[in-house]
Structure 1
């Protein structure tokens, strides 16, 4: 039986309302019976509801990485508030009496076991391992369409540069927006997003002149995407296998959505990895027309910081669960890693939670980079590539945090080097303003997770604090 914490139960809930309603059932003492199996792999019970008879709910942990929550209620939510309430009661210390596993659960377990045996048998016979057949003719047509789209995008970018950004009027903006739609027809979703971002910047630039600098940076990115994308697609057409590039991020920039089996085939899957989340926030990306749930996770064995990203399109918000902060460590049986540089994106399907020990949190503070000069060098090397992540994240050891007469904050390392603190654009959420509320002793000789951003207008590299680790305390400024 895994360790069930409230943080883990929250992660299973489909939304915040389900969490609230489930906890309400426990507070109202709506459960009339709590039971557990002898081996503690099954929790089950009864909960009174609006029906004539009590609802039968259960949480089956026979496979702890894939718990199955069931209930006899008519709710369409999976899991429902009754099954979640059962877990909240268990985590809260309610007494669960030992009882025999119900027959219907035994039957469902048996059917599930047969399905798994069938899958194992097929895998052993090589049925499941057969690679998906690629329609090379269709793929070549798609690549040629992408090349045509990049040529169209390049012509637009050059015309904007020749004409000058300050001369752009409503007619030109309309042309840009038309090209945004066309990029989708050429299978260039990455280019579509960046061109829409350029349009958004130019529409705001008439009110804020400094945005022209960022618009120029955006044009530089688009130019790099055209140049590198064309070189990649041309080489891909010449490759008899039309193989994916798993060593750079160019495939994603061109609109490819990596599947887990593709990542595994490229050697980008590792087994039995432990991670702990250091920070999380969600923000609205108007260029993508999606809400983005972004989590930063530390791999305990290597000290590497990874990202989990969930994109929730505006049109599908009602059907997608928002991610949330997670406060336990997770044991992942298979960790899939995307191509990239610093803070590579990762995914997993199954995980088992466990509480972080105090000494483990204390050990995280040893992973902070002690030299700001070295840290900044690594960040700048990544930012030289226009197609790299523009907001890398690092753990830094901080000797102290200073504030000048103007109220601006800066981090100081052991060599006396300073790093300016400012709130940056991706999160659109402030954290610097929270520093006055942090005890002074927590801000000296501490480890801080920061996200970097290069300000084109001023030519300065700044950082925003996300999490402070001091001793056994982990203070999240964004969550």
Structure 2
């Protein structure tokens, strides 16, 4: 069983409220019965509820990487507060009576094993019949045609905005464009829809149109490039039904495709036996997508690659979905799914275990920091040239010093080259204000995780610090 620490249990909770409620049950001694099996793979107990009968809950760790939780309560949150409380009680060394494995749990384990076997057989089964393939191809052709129509609608909408001019954008015209943008959702091009809405939201939030000209022009140019690439790609796939999806770039996702894990596995985008350590984390509301985004920045301990996790929670369903949080443990997963992309690919896992970080992990992290700013800036600029690439790449740099300058702060590498630091538009959260609080020792010989941004109006590339990794500690400026 994964070591049950408070941090690990917190990572399983749906949100901060669930964490508090679970701990409250332990504090109030609400559990009438606390039991575990001799091998420690099952925790089970009874917790006082609002009715006469207690709620029966259990946490099954027969497969540590994929624990199973059960509770008789009617809560829609899962794991519910009773399951969390059960685990918090175990983690806080409350006395658990050792009992035999309950018969109902043994039966459920057996059924689960049979389902797993059937699933493996299904995966290993031969491909579908020719008739089924034909039906799938027809359905795919219809979807591609609908997407292509959506691309043309997006093109007309963007062209209309450009022709009438940004200066003509007022509340009335923005509402009209919003109504048109909603139609894109019917054509399976949610990515393009979000890109268009970003322009409109930017215009609404601006104090004056003049203040957003540079940013809006960059976004319009990016959308134009995306529309052109999308049109060419969709036409090519319509003409050749055997042409595969783009599994290298983010084009499919930018158009609106939501990759399934089975698809990523099928195209070989799975990394095996990976350990990751999170260096920074933040959550934000993406108004263009209509979703909350929980974003984590991780380093793969095997090779030092910086990857990103993103958990999307639609505004309307957010309260029923798991809210990710900072993770201070090392994640271990047998299968790490990597989405198509360039720098900082998005990753995801289904099953994982966790362990406490070791001093050697921090040493490994520091060893992967790029010592030459010139090389880092070259890599970033090459990334920014692509119309599809993320405009805010993240890198881990080795700074000989974080120096205070006349204009603020800058990173200085071993050759004396400087990289200016600033608060960037992408984050809209301050970390620069925290630097003066740090002692001088923290600002010397540090591996610094930064997010880049091209300030076009000022003609310079800047970075915002997210975390500092020292020999003996990690200082998170975002967490």
Structure 2 length as normaliser, TM-score? 0.93
Aligned residue number for residue 23 of structure 1: 23
Q: Does residue 92 of structure 1 match 2:84? A: no
How far is 1:338 from its partner?
Answer: 0.7
Change (3 A) 1:31 1:156: closer
Change (3 A) 1:28 1:204: closer
Aligned length: 478
Aligned residue number for residue 357 of structure 1: 358
Q: Deviations over 1:443-470 (max 9, x none)?
A: 2101111111111211211111111110
1:265-284 correspondence to structure 2 within 5 Å: 265-284=266-285
1:73-92 correspondence to structure 2 within 5 Å: 73-92=73-92
Aligned residue number for residue 307 of structure 1: 308
Which stretch has the larger CA shift, 163-172 or 419-428? 163-172
How far is 1:197 from its partner?
Answer: 1.1
Distance (Å, rounded) in 2 between the aligned partners of 1:157 and 1:49: 56
Aligned residue number for residue 58 of structure 2: 58
Q: CA RMSD of the aligned region, Å?
A: 2.4
Which stretch has the larger CA shift, 299-308 or 5-14? 5-14
Aligned residue number for residue 413 of structure 1: 413
Q: Determine if contact 2:190/2:256 at 8 Å carries over to the other structure.
A: yes
Q: Deviations over 1:264-303 (max 9, x none)?
A: 1111112221111111101111111211111111111111
How far is 1:169 from its partner?
Answer: 4.7
1:173-184 correspondence to structure 2 within 5 Å: 173-184=174-185
Q: Deviations over 1:137-179 (max 9, x none)?
A: 3322332333333334334434443444334455643443243
How far is 1:206 from its partner?
Answer: 5.9
Aligned residue number for residue 290 of structure 1: 291
Distance (Å, rounded) in 1 between the aligned partners of 2:475 and 2:132: 46
**Partner SS state of residue 248, structure 1:** coil
Aligned residue number for residue 226 of structure 2: 225
Aligned residue number for residue 201 of structure 1: 202
1:52-451 correspondence to structure 2 within 5 Å: 52-126=52-126, 133=133, 135-169=136-170, 172-205=173-206, 207=208, 209-405=210-406, 408-451=408-451
How far is 1:414 from its partner?
Answer: 1.0
How far is 1:383 from its partner?
Answer: 0.4
Change (3 A) 1:103 1:398: same
Q: Deviations over 1:92-149 (max 9, x none)?
A: 2333343222222222222222332333444455489999846323322332333333
Distance (Å, rounded) in 1 between the aligned partners of 2:128 and 2:322: 30
How far is 1:53 from its partner?
Answer: 4.3
Distance (Å, rounded) in 1 between the aligned partners of 2:110 and 2:65: 18
Unaligned runs of 5+ in 1: none
How far is 1:220 from its partner?
Answer: 0.2
Change (3 A) 1:132 1:353: farther
Q: Does residue 470 of structure 1 match 2:470? A: yes
Q: Determine if contact 1:359/1:472 at 8 Å carries over to the other structure.
A: no
Change (3 A) 1:435 1:107: same
Change (3 A) 1:240 1:405: closer
Distance (Å, rounded) in 2 between the aligned partners of 1:80 and 1:160: 48
Aligned residue number for residue 458 of structure 1: 458
Q: Determine if contact 1:204/1:211 at 8 Å carries over to the other structure.
A: no
Q: Deviations over 1:41-75 (max 9, x none)?
A: 11223333444344333211111111112233343
Distance (Å, rounded) in 1 between the aligned partners of 2:259 and 2:300: 22
Distance (Å, rounded) in 2 between the aligned partners of 1:325 and 1:181: 34
Distance (Å, rounded) in 2 between the aligned partners of 1:136 and 1:94: 58
How far is 1:208 from its partner?
Answer: 5.2
Aligned residue number for residue 8 of structure 1: 8
Q: Determine if contact 2:305/2:344 at 8 Å carries over to the other structure.
A: yes
Unaligned runs of 5+ in 2: none
Change (3 A) 1:139 1:416: same
Distance (Å, rounded) in 1 between the aligned partners of 2:14 and 2:477: 25
Q: Deviations over 1:346-376 (max 9, x none)?
A: 1111111111112212221111111111111
Distance (Å, rounded) in 1 between the aligned partners of 2:267 and 2:63: 28
Distance (Å, rounded) in 1 between the aligned partners of 2:131 and 2:336: 20
Which stretch has the larger CA shift, 377-386 or 430-439? 430-439
